[in-house]
Amino acid sequence: MKKIICTLSILSLLGSCSSDLLNTLPEADKVTSNFYKDASQIEQGVNGVYGSLQYTGQYKQGLLTIGEIPSDNTFDEVPANDNFTYGEFDFFTIQPTNSLIENAWKDNYVGIQQANIILNRIGSITDMSEGTRKTRIGEMKFLRALMYFNLVRIFGDVPLVTQETTDVNSYFGQSRTPANEVYNFVEGELKEAITLLPATAAQKGRATKGAAMGILGRVLMTRNKFSEALPYLSQIDGLGYSLLSDVTKIFDVTNKNNAEIIFDVQFASGLNGNSEGSNAFQLFSPSGTVSGAKGHNLPTKEVYNLYSSADKRRNAYIGLTNNGVPYTKKLVKTSSAVDDGGSNVVVIRLADVYLMMAECYAQTNDLTNANLYLNKIKTRAGITNVNLTSQQALLAEIDKERRLELIGEGHRWFDLVRTGKAVQVMTQYFAVTPGYSTATIDQHNLLMPVPQNQINTDPAIKQNPGY
């Protein structure tokens, strides 16, 4: 039985100590005063932070669901499945007691606290080379910034905790930090991480300079800092990444961590009692297609029909059942245990960077370069290039290409929110799509509700308006 260590969580943020919350990996449980005393133990802790990205509320399900289902990209085939947990995102009836919302908050803060512990203790380790120490600090700052970025764009204001929690009572009553301050922190962490991280990772799945530049670019774009984002995004082009010529190879599980992938979350089948795999393939498969399929997060017919017949991505990224129900091909069955999927989850890849660059160039009125980077994606897809001379038309075309290229990767909802189009686009989608006559969206839906269990634990944490 693993020892339950309450200092792993921030009790004012995560609720009371429980085995369900804390019984994770051994690397994440050894948070005691007599641990993390040497380089080997620090490495275990670092692996635990990477491991937190595999949690349900992070990239196992949370970011893929929250980033897609509320948008016009994906839908929930049977909303009642799993107690409406996923269906609530489809109809904007999300409750503060939604288990995926609770996990998104909890699992990010577990990872953040673990990163805080490593950053607090790594300076006193004597048997670690300075080069390794520098890299590990960069990795922890990158991962902590990534988790805070995801939290702030999901919930808005969130408690900003940057030190190891040794007295959980000290965090009660401090409420939520304004989103602008959280974004400032994230920007600073990523800029520092860029100076610390290597251009090439010694191990697949580790954070690199390119990963930090790419996420920083995304953060800056979220804040409408397009001219500031461009220098960071542009440098990625010289770091050795390349678009794969064959789009079917990008998500091929025999071709993981390929030249297009800048950072992804690692999953594997058949390891550690099937604990390193993901059940996302099972949950995100149409009902009746595989054992235990739930029909969550399926591509919409609208996005499927946006692809031209010549577009190589349509059949590479989306399949159709015999009944014509779309499903993603970016997650595949890799084992006889269907809930032990080995598909990695891409956080950022070069195609995404090129489309972000195209948008930044368009926003700063450099339409020549905007067309250039947009056409890199179109050329690879096998479709006709464009030469658009209207900024508005170019931004609309980039938006469309982001949908087609990044379907199912957890970006569409956040793209709609950051561009201010969410309410308009989804209202129109509901009006023309059968089955959504009762669905409505307004400004309060642009943020998700704060989990009710956090408010119950600490009344200083207030609910978002409208929930």
Residue 237 lies in a domain: no
Q: How far, in whole angstroms, is CA 409 from its chain's centroid? A: 8
At residue 16, the pLDDT reads: 31
* Structure tokens, 239: 């770091």
Total-model pTM:
0.93
Residue at 326: amino acid letter: P
164: left (phi > 0), else alpha (psi -120 to 50), else beta? beta
Average model confidence (pLDDT) for the chain? 92
Residue 395 lies in a domain: no
Residue 433 lies in a domain: yes
At residue 280, the pLDDT reads: 96
Please choose, from the candidates 204, 194, 200, 197, the residue with its C-alpha nearest in 3D space to the C-alpha of residue 258: 204
Residue 440 lies in a domain: yes
At residue 28, the pLDDT reads: 43
At residue 33, the pLDDT reads: 62
Please tell me the distance from the alpha carbon of residue 429 to that of residue 72, in angstroms, as a whole number: 7
Q: Give Rg (Cα) of the chain.
A: 21
Please tell me the distance from the alpha carbon of residue 255 to that of residue 242, in angstroms, as a whole number: 14
Residue 236 lies in a domain: no
Overall number of domains in the chain? 1
Range of the domain at 121: 1-197+420-461
At residue 166, the pLDDT reads: 73
| pLDDT per residue rounded down to tens, the chain (467 residues) | 222 233 333 333 333 332 232 233 434 444 456 788 899 999 999 999 999 999 999 999 999 999 999 999 999 999 999 999 999 999 999 999 999 999 999 999 999 999 999 999 999 999 999 999 999 999 999 999 999 999 999 999 999 999 987 776 776 778 999 999 999 999 999 999 999 999 999 999 999 999 999 999 999 999 999 999 999 999 999 999 999 999 999 999 999 999 999 999 999 999 988 889 999 999 999 999 999 999 999 999 999 999 999 999 999 999 999 999 999 999 999 999 999 999 999 999 999 999 999 999 999 999 999 999 999 999 999 999 999 999 999 999 999 999 999 999 999 999 999 999 999 999 999 999 999 999 999 999 999 999 999 999 999 999 999 99
Query: How far is CA 168 from each of CA 11, 154, 274, 393, rounded to the nearest angstrom?
Result: 6, 24, 33, 52
Residue 30 lies in a domain: yes
Please tell me the distance from the alpha carbon of residue 214 to that of residue 233, in angstroms, as a whole number: 6
Residue at 233: amino acid letter: L
What CATH code is carried by the domain that includes residue 80?
1.25.40.390
Please choose, from the candidates 421, 401, 214, 384, the residue with its C-alpha nearest in 3D space to the C-alpha of residue 317: 401
- Contacts with 185 (C-beta within 8 Å, 6 or more apart), sequence order: 145, 148, 160, 162
At residue 168, the pLDDT reads: 66
At residue 458, the pLDDT reads: 92
Please tell me the distance from the alpha carbon of residue 449 to that of residue 465, in angstroms, as a whole number: 8
Instruction: Give me the helix-helix angle, 367-381 and 391-406, nearest 10°.
Output: 30
Residue 82 lies in a domain: yes
Residue 191 lies in a domain: yes
